[in-house]
């Protein structure tokens, strides 16, 4: 009775922490019995609990004894399994080193005990009340689709992809994909492709090493001309009567150069596409899962991807793709409020 009385006197403060690739977002919502009375969001250039970040959080939590700190799990060693039966969990994977919890008596999400311990220690000064799985966020965000639709559901963050397949509310498959672990491999592939395109016999062709050409335009250079046809000194002399051929190529390369942000966006969207494609192939080919043909994918986009990803999925995998922008901070805040009901 006393707790209920005191609770009525104070507002509730919900603090939601989202660690990204090189920054941390903090979303704060202040609620009274009547609803939201204030909210704000700040981004900090750190991935740890810095002094500035701590002061910002404390400036709100000191106003009420009823505050709740929520954190979105960023462990790479996490996922979801299509059962809640403890004796069946091991069939899909080893969860002996994981903490796990049944969701809605239908499926289980899990995370690394070690990573969870590190998170708790790192934020010990403020304490963590809730650590939410991305799969809980994904399930809640698409609650209008999952119960009645067979589809793949994807949560895109800047560093992670949380992929799942549901069939009328039943989880069939899930996998947590770490974009960072594939970045180096993708860069090596692109570098290899570039070297293959320009690795021509110096005695029979033109040296392009001094031409500054972005990765994105290597394919375009293929269309510039049949360089292999110019494999003799006579051909080169004939072609470059008015201008040196090397200068001609350099001029063409300059015209084709694109901005670096586009290149980075292209690379990351292609990484995401490759990861999704590989994961779906694993679902189809692994006998552990009740695989069925997936035609539709719903994407919750928190990373701000370009239209390239949608194009890849539609053109290369023949999927029907639907994108929704998602504010993960607000979604996590909603989950925290549900925990108190």
Q: Is the per-residue pLDDT at 194 higher than 50?
A: no
Asked if residue 78 is part of any domain, the answer here is no
Cβ(128)–Cβ(14) below 8 Å: no
Q: What CATH number did the domain enclosing 63 receive? A: 3.30.420
Q: What pLDDT shows up at residue 182? A: 55
Residue 18 has pLDDT above 80, yes or no: yes
* Total of domains in the chain: 1
The percentage of residues in the chain with a pLDDT greater than 70, rounded to a whole number, is: 73
Q: Is 331 within a domain? A: no
For residue 244, the model assigns a pLDDT of 53
**Considering the domain boundaries, does residue 188 fall inside one?**
no
- Range scoring the smallest mean pLDDT among 145-149, 213-217, 225-229, 249-253: 225-229
Does residue 66 lie in a domain region? yes
- In whole angstroms, how far apart are CA 88 and each of 98, 124, 258? 15, 34, 52
Question: In the numeric block, which tokens belong to residue 263?
Answer: 């290149």
**260-285 helix and 307-317 helix, angle to the nearest 10 degrees:** 40
Prediction pTM value = 0.76
- The overall average pLDDT reported for the chain is 82
The strand ranges marked E within 5-97 are 12-19, 24-32, 35-44, 67-72, 78-81
User: What per-residue confidence (pLDDT) applies to 2?
Assistant: 52
In a domain, 271, yes or no: no
Residue 198, pLDDT score: 40
pLDDT value, residue 247: 55
pLDDT of residue 264: 57
Residues 198-246: pLDDT tens digits? 443 433 333 434 445 455 544 543 443 443 343 443 443 444 454 454 4
pLDDT in tens, 57-94: 999 999 999 999 999 999 999 999 999 999 999 999 99
Q: Judge whether 53 lies within some domain.
A: yes
63 found inside a domain:
yes
Domain extent for 24: 2-72
pLDDT over 90, % of the chain: 69
Asked if residue 45 has pLDDT above 80, the reply is yes
What integer pLDDT is reported at residue 1 of this predicted model?
Answer: 54
Task: Spell out the SS3 assignment of 156-195.
Answer: ECCCEEEEEEEECCEEEEEEEEECHHHHHHHHHHHHHHHH
pLDDT above 50: residue 262 = no
pLDDT, mean of residues 17-21: 95
Q: What pLDDT score does 180 carry? A: 79
In a domain, 31, yes or no: yes
């Amino acid at each position: 009775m006393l707790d209920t009385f005191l609770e009525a006197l104070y507002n509730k403060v919900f603090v939601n922490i989202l660690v990204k690739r090189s920054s941390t977002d903090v979303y704060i919502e202040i609620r009274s019995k009547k609803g939201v009375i204030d909210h704000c969001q700040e981004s900090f250039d750190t991935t740890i609990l810095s002094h500035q970040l701590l002061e910002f959080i404390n400036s709100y939590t000191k106003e009420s004894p009823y505050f709740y700190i929520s954190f979105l799990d960023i462990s790479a060693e996490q996922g979801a399994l299509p059962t809640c039966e403890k004796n069946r969990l091991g069939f899909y994977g080893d969860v002996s080193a994981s903490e796990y919890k049944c969701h809605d008596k239908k499926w289980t999400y899990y995370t690394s005990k070690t990573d969870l311990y590190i998170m708790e220690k790192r934020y010990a000064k403020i304490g963590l009340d809730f650590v939410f799985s991305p799969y809980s966020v994904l399930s809640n965000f698409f609650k209008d689709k999952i119960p009645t639709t067979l589809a793949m559901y994807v949560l895109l963050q800047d560093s992670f992809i949380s992929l799942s397949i549901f069939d009328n509310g039943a989880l069939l498959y899930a996998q947590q994909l770490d974009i960072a672990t594939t970045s180096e491999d993708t860069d090596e592939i692109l570098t290899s492709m570039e070297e293959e395109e320009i690795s021509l016999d110096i005695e029979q062709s033109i040296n392009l090493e001094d031409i500054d050409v972005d990765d994105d335009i290597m394919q375009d250079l293929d269309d510039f001309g049949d360089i292999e046809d110019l494999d003799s000194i006579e051909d080169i002399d004939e072609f470059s009567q008015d201008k040196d051929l090397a200068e001609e190529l350099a001029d063409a390369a300059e015209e084709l150069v694109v901005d670096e942000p586009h290149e980075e966006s292209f690379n990351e969207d292609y990484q995401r596409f490759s990861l999704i494609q590989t994961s779906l192939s694993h679902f189809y080919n692994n006998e552990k899962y009740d695989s069925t043909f997936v035609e539709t994918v719903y994407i919750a986009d928190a990373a701000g991807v370009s239209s390239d990803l949608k194009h890849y999925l539609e053109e290369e995998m023949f999927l029907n793709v639907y994108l929704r922008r998602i504010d993960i901070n607000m979604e996590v805040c909603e989950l925290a409020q549900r925990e108190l009901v």
